[in-house]
A = this chain, B = another copy of it.
Amino acid sequence: MLNFIKDQVRTIKRKDPAIKSTMEVFLYPSFRALLCHRISNFLFRYKLYFLARFICEFAKRRTGIEIHPGAKIGKSVFIDHGSGVVIGETAVVGNNVTMFHGVTLGGTGNEKTKKRHPTIEDDVFIGSGAKVLGNIVIGKASKVGAGAIVLNNVPPGVTVVGVPAKIVRKR
């Protein structure tokens, strides 16, 4: 738990140019939502579903960030601002991923498999209001533009934008 707090302090200070002091980290919705998720995810793995959901809803009311207790979240993740973020039950988020407010990692409603939500690989950047829908993969270090609607796999190291999202830049 102490490692988690240290990692978050380092991550937020590195990623947000608007921060003025270390103390401010404890006011960040990102920090509080991810802390609650660690607890709700622990309860979920022990099948304490109601309690897990209760903590998830509590965190959502306080931070605007809704992370389903079943989602898997990596290290050094940062969710800037946070209002309106929704991360689904079977979503997987890698290390060092940055997301902005309004991002959805959701389902399309047509999924037949158990895994209904996307997998986000390490170092991915997802702009504000972007929606990544279905059991797809966003490749390592790719960028998703603000407001993009992503419905297909995205290879590593590219930038996608638009509705629906298309590749605009390759490394």
Contacts and interface: CB of A to CB of B under 8 A. Distances in A.
Given A83-B66, A84-B83, A146 B128 contact: no
A162 to B, nearest CB: 6
A41 interface: no
Contact of A146 (B50, B88, B101, B131): B131
Secondary structure of the A contact surface, majority rule: loop
A68 interface: yes
B129 A27 contact: no
A145 interface: yes
Contacts of A61: 61-62
Contacts of A116: 17
Interface of A: 17-18, 20-21, 23-24, 27, 29, 49-50, 53-54, 57, 60-62, 64, 66, 68, 70, 81, 83-84, 86, 88-89, 100-102, 104, 106-107, 109, 116, 125, 127-129, 131, 133, 145-149, 161-164
10 contacts: A20-B53, A27-B54, A61-B62, A64-B64, A83-B84, A86-B101, A128-B131, A129-B131, A131-B147, A147-B149
* Closest A-B pairs by Cβ, 6 of them: A20-B49, A18-B89, A147-B149, A84-B84, A83-B84, A81-B86
